Structures are given as structure tokens and as C-alpha cells.
Structure 1
């Protein structure tokens, strides 16, 4: 009887332990590895999940030292502590959603969304604010040491990194000319995948949710109802 009770409690303990680790960092890593075939060196966490809470949609990454080893070697600065920049703060990893968005781009949706935003001053301003928020979040996510290294160096390559980290928005878009009144053109969109990753990762927390990502979400629901979002 005592042995049976001991076994019963042991099973409860094991089940509880497995349940507690189902959303752990280790599980996140394996699911991202399944999607991409590897885990990015600058991976931080899964930033958005599908409705089943089992498959990642997007991940959050550290803004430096990311990408393939070859890219890091090519973009790095010899003798500097700061290596290659990686301005994509939120990265779409879900294969079926990525494929569906690629289909939207093939159908000309990037131009359609650009036209819709350009025709609306409200949407244009929201997109600009979205770029500003993205740049601020990226810079603030850097460690104090990396901020210092980027800020104090006179190396031209490091200066370019600093500008990229501080003054580029979603998909590396330079929005400063628009905000400083130098140009009147709406900042470019460049990549629907990057905007959607940002939208699904931050739509419930930002004051200005990504309007491009929101329009992509509507287009996915319309054109690809078979894809679980």
C-alpha cells in the first residue's frame, strides 16, 4: 500500500514537472530549430505563437551579432568588441505564414498597402510612429556596454552601425528624413514579412500597432483562410 502511494505521488510529480517545462526556453529553442533548421545565435525568445500555442510565429532577437557565421564575419569590424549589426528585432519564423505572405507579395499586395497608407495621413503618421517605436525599442534592448561601444567609437563602420541601431525602423527603413521635414515621401515598407512579425509580436502592447502588419493580417485571412494565424 505504501509503495503504491509512493508510486502514485511520483507519477504526479513527473507529470507536473513535464507540464511546467512545456513552455520553457528549451522547448522554444527546439520549436524554432524545427522551423528554421537551426537556432539563431542572437535568439532571445519566441515573441508570438499560433493559436494552438505550440508553433512560434515570430521570435525576438538581439540587435547585434546575428545572422549566419559568414555574414557576421563579413560585417564585423576587426579588433572591435561590437560585431555585425542585426536590425531585425522581430523575425518571422513560421514557414506556412511566411509562404502565404510571399504569395501576397507576388500578388502585388506590397504596392497595394503602400498606396492605401500613402492616401491616408492618419495611417502614414501611424507608420512613422511605428518606425520610431521600433528604433527606440531596438536601441533600448542593447546592453549598456554595447550602447557605450557604439556611441564612443569614431570608426566609420561602428558609426554606421550606431545610425542603423538608432535611426532605422522596421526592415531597416530610414524614416529620419520624413520626421525631420526634409522629405515628404512616406517611409518605404520594404518587407511585409518584417512588418507582420512586428505586428503579431507587439499588437497588444504598443500605442501605435504596426498598420502594415494589420493590413497583412487582414489580407491573410481573406486570401489564405487555410493558414492558422
Structure 2
């Protein structure tokens, strides 16, 4: 379903700028408020491997707070120490690549090939990351998690559930 002019205006308001490559509202709140947007694979003839973008100010703030508090490093250490979590992350990236691929239509695929960018999407996972064992940004992981659950999003949910009474951003 195409993005309505009202939705586009609301996303622009949430981002503080006009959205580039806005393809869909991937997740909306109960009142229809955009939470996660889906972005086209090709924006202004440049590859855009970040499929989902978190636009909810409340969630963005909550993630800003925990990132500033060093949560990425703590989660990364936990993942590095656990082969099952590392493998789950690799699978998350593989599923994400397949999902992103499912949104690329024939015309976009042809243009990506003409521009020499087709291979970019074969090796870039959640948030456009190539190293499937690393967490680069909790925002992109959580945006993807709200569309299709993933390991890092689940760990973040667990962290929030365990720390909710102490979390000022909760």
C-alpha cells in the first residue's frame, strides 16, 4: 500500500526532514502513528541497505539512553562469549537479506545491476552491516526486530524488562 501524503508529512515531522526513499510504514502504533518505516533499496541512484528505520521518538530516546550507557559493548561481549547467540545473529542477517530482496522489484533490480550495486545487498545485513557478528547500532536492530524478531532486539527487550524500574527512559 502506498504511503499517503499525511503519512509522508508525519514521517517528515518525526525525522525533522523530508524522508528519502520512503517506501512504506512497516510498523504503526495502535493509533496509526508511524513507528518503523521501510526504505527503498535504491535512493537517488545510490544503494540504501538499511531497510528499516525507527522513527518513534520515544523508542529512539530509550535506545539513545542505553547506547550512551554502554549497552552495545555489554551486549557485544555477551554475544562474543556465546556461539549460539553469534549463530543466531548470522541467521538474523540472512533472513533480513532475504526479506530486503523480496521488496526489490524487477525495475529496481535492473537499475542496481546497471549501476554495479547488485552485490551490495548480498553481503549487507541488518543496518547495512557486513560483519554479521557485530552490533553497530541498536536503532537499526530494533527497527528490524519490530518487523521480524531478531536476536539483538530480543536481548534489548530482555534488558528493558530486567531494568525497567531503574530505567529513566522507560
Note whether the superposition's TM-score is higher than 0.5: yes
Residues 74-102 of structure 1: per-residue CA shift (max 9 Å, x gap): xxxxxxxxx11111100011122112211
Query: CA offset at residue 49 of structure 1?
Result: 2.7
Match of 1:58 in 2: 36
Dislocated runs of 4+, deviation >4 Å: none
From the superposition, tell whether residues 100 and 164 of structure 1 become closer, same or farther in structure 2 (CA, over 3 Å): same
- Which of the numbers 183, 186, 194 marks the counterpart of 2:140? 194
- What do you get for the CA RMSD once the two structures are aligned? 2.2
Range that drifts further, 139-148 or 216-225: 216-225
Q: Does 2:123 correspond to 1:167? A: yes
Match of 2:10 in 1: 31
- Counting matched residue pairs gives 165
Pairing of 1:212-227 with structure 2 (within 5 A):
212-221=152-161, 222-223=163-164, 224=167, 227=170
* Aligned partner of residue 119 in structure 2, secondary structure: helix
Greater relative CO (CA pairs within 8 A, separation 6+):
2
Structure in which a larger fraction of residues adopt strand: 2
Separation in 2 of the partners of 1:169 and 1:93?
A: 20
Q: Does 2:22 correspond to 1:43? A: yes
Query: CA offset at residue 192 of structure 1?
Result: 0.6
User: Is the Cα contact below 8 Å between 2:72 and 2:138 reproduced in 1?
Assistant: yes
TM-score, normalization by structure 2: 0.84
Query: CA offset at residue 36 of structure 1?
Result: 1.3
